[in-house]
Structure 1
Amino acid sequence: MSSSPLQTLLDRHQLWRAGLTSAPDKSGLHTGFAALDAALHLGGWPPDGSTELLCDQLGIGELWLLMPSLVERSQHGPIAWINPPCTPNIAAWEHHGLAAHRQLLLSPKLLADQLWAAEEILRSGVFSAVLSWFSCRELQDRQLRRLHVAAKEGQCWHLHFRSGHCAQQVSPAPLRLQLAAETDSLLLRVIKQPGGPAAPELLLARPKELYHRQRPVKDWPSFTSVDLAQHGTSRRRLRLIPALQPARPTPIRTDQRGVQ
């Protein structure tokens, strides 16, 4: 027997219950952080649709926060990276458990091309997650809504990175988090979430390499040849591996005649 129109709306979470529900909806996917799971009414990240991460500083731990979930989702489908601010570090992907051959990197130059590519990939039903960074600071509500609807139709998790000042802008994304760097922690403020009111601010302790790299280069930890010799690593340099690294030009090989 087919379900009633009312039940269909309830199943799709398209009807506002005004808090009158018999049991909380815990359909979210675990974030990998117990405190964050407890703060989100779904019990974790939304399974699909757009999730907005608002931050003004690059490399404060935004990818570290997502990595446990990205690794899990990559088992069910490839992940697309659209216009990341720096070239992804493949070694870091492999280090965290993301297979490089299951990652798709796109770098459209024009906003229209990026919007088209993002919408097509989200709706395709092939990708388990899509991470997007848009050069345009403020997208129109219509553009944001098309991306969210495409992600819902394709059952894909869309992670949209935006500037912190967009927190005041109305957005169709059901979950919006604002991120900021503290001394040794990542500060999360839930601006909006499905299933109830926003949660209070939350602090997650970050790995040391993250806040080391936020300091000026002259203050980064360094190792002398004596230190390396004591640890048996005199022939190789120790370094911290970020998930994103600045882009470097690719050398072009030519033969003796100068032909590529």
Structure 2
Amino acid sequence: MLAAPIAPIRAEDIHPSLWRASQLARGRARVVETGYPVLSGELPGGGWPLGALVDLLVQQAGIGEMRLLQPALSALGERPIALLQPPQVPNGLGFGYLGLSLDRLLHVKAPKTADALWSAEQILRSGSCGALIFWASHAQSSSLRRLHLAAQSGETLFVMVRPLTVAQDASPALLRLALRPSAGGLMVDIVKRRGPARTEPLSIPLQPTPVLLSRHARLSRRPFTETAARSLPAEVAA
């Protein structure tokens, strides 16, 4: 009598954090759809990971990172979206054009890096925001690890927008993408993902929108909430 064949053991069956280097990770971690099939098809789980650090690396802030994230932000329901240290004043009219309600936006001002890092950690640990977008020019490895650990305590979409020059530096981020502007959208290079390396960039079309971040930004009659670091609302700083 022949014995029944033994089913192969998958790496993720041993532990969710394991995956084969030749395949995209298929763990049980939650993701949110990117809204761009060509990008989702190249990401482990098919979307932006929740409860983890995501690095968007740019030559200059404001090249389209918010438009890239817009479908995911819209998919998070009515949970607040925290904008920490944006390079310019968020334009209320522009965000309204994208369909992001101003009632959901929380603009956190942090004049010092230490205050910004503190604010990011409080937002992540509280779990009160659906997304945190943090523009950071400088961040030490120890600070990145601390924020990544804080993100793991919840299911917030946590994105740090950082200079392209740090692409060669080590990072605990599960996903790192390099963004370059192109005619009609962005060219996206996958710097790091749980899976095989990809050498060819992805072309992501983006719809034209009003300016989202500008020193001359105009707010609507219902401006979004502004708060200073270390004076966050109780439900955020808890």
Same fold flag (TM > 0.5): yes
State the number of aligned residues: 206
Aligned ranges 1:1-260 → 2 under 5 Å: 10=15, 13-14=16-17, 16-19=18-21, 24-25=26-27, 27-73=30-76, 75-136=77-138, 139-194=139-194, 196-199=195-198, 200-207=200-207, 209=208, 241-247=210-216
Q: Measured at CA, do residues 68 and 108 of structure 1 come closer, stay the same or move farther in structure 2, by a change above 3 Å? A: same
1:25-60: CA deviation from partner (whole Å, max 9, x where unpaired): 474321001111111122111122110000012332
After superposing on structure 2, the runs of 4+ consecutive aligned residues of structure 1 that deviate more than 3 Å are 17-21, 23-27, 247-250
Q: What is the alpha-carbon distance in structure 2 between the residues aligned to residue 160 and residue 101 of structure 1? A: 22
Q: Measured at CA, do residues 184 and 146 of structure 1 come closer, stay the same or move farther in structure 2, by a change above 3 Å? A: same
Q: Name the structure where strand makes up a greater proportion of residues.
A: 2
Greater relative contact order, per chain length (Cα 8 Å cut-off, separation 6+):
2
Q: Secondary structure at the match of 2:55?
A: strand
Q: Name the structure where helix makes up a greater proportion of residues.
A: 1
Q: Secondary structure at the match of 1:148?
A: helix
Q: Secondary structure at the match of 1:153?
A: coil
Please state how far the C-alpha of 1:19 moved relative to its aligned partner: 4.9
Please state how far the C-alpha of 1:167 moved relative to its aligned partner: 0.3
Aligned to 1:237: none
Q: Measured at CA, do residues 76 and 198 of structure 1 come closer, stay the same or move farther in structure 2, by a change above 3 Å? A: farther
Is 2:175–2:192's contact at 8 Å kept on the other side of the alignment?
Answer: yes
Q: Secondary structure at the match of 2:167?
A: helix
Q: What is the alpha-carbon distance in structure 1 between the residues aligned to residue 189 and residue 217 of structure 2? A: 34
Q: What is the alpha-carbon distance in structure 1 between the residues aligned to residue 163 and residue 114 of structure 2? A: 19
Q: Which runs of 5+ in 1 are unaligned?
A: 1-6, 210-239, 251-260
Q: Which runs of 5+ in 2 are unaligned?
A: 1-11, 220-238
> Identity, % of aligned pairs?
35
Q: Which structure has the larger Rg over C-alpha atoms? A: 1
Q: What is the alpha-carbon distance in structure 2 between the residues aligned to residue 92 and residue 185 of structure 1? A: 17
Aligned to 1:224: none
Q: Secondary structure at the match of 2:106?
A: strand
Please state how far the C-alpha of 1:248 moved relative to its aligned partner: 6.6
Q: Measured at CA, do residues 193 and 117 of structure 1 come closer, stay the same or move farther in structure 2, by a change above 3 Å? A: same
Q: What is the alpha-carbon distance in structure 2 between the residues aligned to residue 178 and residue 131 of structure 1? A: 16
Q: What is the alpha-carbon distance in structure 2 between the residues aligned to residue 103 and residue 249 of structure 1? A: 15
